[in-house]
């Protein structure tokens, strides 16, 4: 388990992290979200001892020292491959930095290239690859030594949906092997589909921390999805409906100021008759992100 307690980081007059505390359990995935400048990369750099900080960071109950680095897989937001090396040379070089012998790594490379659908041979130079394929090679470098702690800074950036799905499968496989995984992303759909829990930072403060379900339920079941032949004007007249958005065709999203109004709305809308869709839900993570990014506690 990775544990961060009362983390504080100051850059001159700027407070980058202010009393940040959370845990990343083994075999679970944590999403670290927040606007640009919220402190996500500073948190990662603190975990990796790239900078000095106040507070406590522990891996399996002990401070993270150089001896622990072999257990960590880190994908930085900025790509850092060496363009003149071949794919094989690059992977072997970085694996050896993690104390993995070349004779162990080389036989695995073809399978990893196939797993990530890298368009290129292992003898191709990095500079000959597209940006997307370079990113996939760096992901292989991050995971091939089977790290127990995985830190991914915006891993989905620049990936199309097909390649994003390949990465998701690799992340889930790594989770199944018992690794503790933390990644940052601006795409809330990726966070919601992968993460067991999330932490949201805003200007260095933790403003959300918990399981995906618990975080969403904090905001109440204030959204109602219905498919009906009622007009938009008529839907607006239902009790406790504050806003109506037509999604497509006869499907609408109704926002409520009181989640307890659901049963009453159901009775009025259906009048005892069949209705194709009536689903009362908490706000999506995307909407929660927007709300918390704009609210100062």
Task: Convert the pLDDT of each residue in 58-94 to its tens digit.
Answer: 999 999 988 889 999 999 988 789 999 999 999 999 9
Number of domains making up the chain:
2
Residue 101 shares a structural domain with residue 148: yes
Q: What is the pLDDT of residues 84-122, one digit of tens each?
A: 999 999 999 999 999 999 999 999 999 999 999 999 899
Question: Which domain-ending residue is among 217, 241, 266?
Answer: 217
Q: What is the pLDDT of residues 212-233, one digit of tens each?
A: 999 998 899 999 999 999 999 9
Helices (H), the chain: 40-47, 87-97, 102-105, 109-115, 131-143, 161-176, 188-194, 212-217, 232-236, 262-270, 285-294
pLDDT at 296: 45
Is residue 47 a part of any domain in this protein?
yes
Is residue 127 a part of any domain in this protein?
yes
Residue 185 shares a structural domain with residue 231: no
pLDDT at 279: 95
Residue 136 shares a structural domain with residue 242: no
Is residue 116 a part of any domain in this protein?
yes
Is residue 291 a part of any domain in this protein?
no
Residue 240 shares a structural domain with residue 107: no
Question: Which domain-ending residue is among 162, 188, 217?
Answer: 217
Residue 232 shares a structural domain with residue 160: no
* Mean pLDDT estimate for the chain: 92
In angstroms, rounded to a whole number, what is the distance separating the alpha carbons of residues 28 and 209?
Answer: 14
Give the C-alpha distances (Å, rounded to integers) separating 41 from 11, 34, 84, 204: 14, 10, 28, 11
pLDDT at 80: 82
The confidence band for 297, taking pLDDT boundaries of 50, 70 and 90, is very low
Higher pLDDT, 132 or 198: 198
Which residues are bridge partners to 243 per DSSP? 255
Determine the length of the chain: 297
Residue 199 shares a structural domain with residue 239: no
Is residue 297 a part of any domain in this protein?
no
Please determine, for residue 241, whether its predicted confidence score (pLDDT) is greater than 50. Answer: yes
Residue 276 φ/ψ region, left for φ over 0, alpha for ψ in the -120 to 50 degree band, beta for the rest: alpha
pLDDT at 234: 95
Is residue 113 a part of any domain in this protein?
yes
| Average of per-residue pLDDT across 186-193 | 90
Sign of CA dihedral 59, 60, 62, 68: negative
| Average of per-residue pLDDT across 42-54 | 95
In angstroms, rounded to a whole number, what is the distance separating the alpha carbons of residues 178 and 265?
Answer: 45
Residue 227 shares a structural domain with residue 207: no
Domain with residue 67: its CATH number is 3.40.50.300
Give the C-alpha distances (Å, rounded to integers) separating 135 from 24, 55, 68, 125, 176: 25, 33, 25, 14, 23
Residue 98 shares a structural domain with residue 205: yes
Residue 171 shares a structural domain with residue 121: yes
Residue 247 shares a structural domain with residue 112: no
Residue 242 shares a structural domain with residue 208: no
Q: In terms of residue numbers, what domain contains 139?
A: 2-217
The model's pTM: 0.85
In angstroms, rounded to a whole number, what is the distance separating the alpha carbons of residues 126 and 136?
Answer: 11
Question: Which domain-ending residue is among 217, 234, 255?
Answer: 217
Residue 154 shares a structural domain with residue 275: no
In angstroms, rounded to a whole number, what is the distance separating the alpha carbons of residues 239 and 262?
Answer: 9
């Amino acid at each position: 388990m990775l544990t961060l307690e009362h983390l504080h980081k100051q850059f001159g007059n700027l407070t980058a992290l202010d009393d940040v505390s959370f845990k990343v359990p083994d075999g679970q995935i944590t999403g670290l979200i927040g606007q640009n400048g919220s402190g996500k990369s500073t948190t990662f750099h603190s975990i990796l001892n790239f900078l000095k900080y106040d507070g406590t960071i522990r891996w399996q109950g002990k401070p993270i020292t150089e001896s622990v680095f072999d257990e960590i897989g880190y994908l930085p937001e900025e790509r850092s491959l060496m363009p003149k090396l071949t794919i094989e040379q690059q992977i072997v070089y970085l694996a050896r930095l993690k104390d993995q012998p070349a004779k162990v790594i080389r036989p695995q490379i073809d399978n990893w290239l196939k797993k990530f659908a890298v368009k290129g041979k292992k003898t191709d130079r990095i500079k000959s690859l597209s940006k997307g394929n370079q990113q996939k090679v760096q992901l292989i470098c991050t995971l091939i030594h089977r790290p127990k702690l995985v830190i991914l800074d915006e891993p989905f950036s620049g990936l199309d949906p097909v390649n994003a799905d390949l990465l998701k499968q690799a992340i889930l496989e790594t989770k199944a092997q018992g690794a503790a995984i933390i990644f940052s992303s601006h795409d809330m759909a990726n966070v919601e589909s992968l993460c067991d829990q999330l932490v949201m930072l805003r200007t260095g403060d933790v403003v959300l921390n918990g399981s995906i379900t618990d975080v969403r339920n904090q905001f109440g079941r204030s959204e109602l999805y219905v498919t009906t032949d009622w007009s938009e004007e008529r839907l607006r007249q239902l009790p406790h409906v504050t806003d109506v958005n037509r999604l497509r065709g006869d499907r609408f999203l109704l926002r409520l100021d009181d989640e307890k109004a659901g049963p009453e709305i159901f009775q009025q809308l259906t009048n005892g008759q069949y209705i194709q869709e009536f689903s009362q839900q908490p706000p999506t993570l995307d909407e929660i992100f927007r709300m918390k990014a704009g609210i100062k506690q």
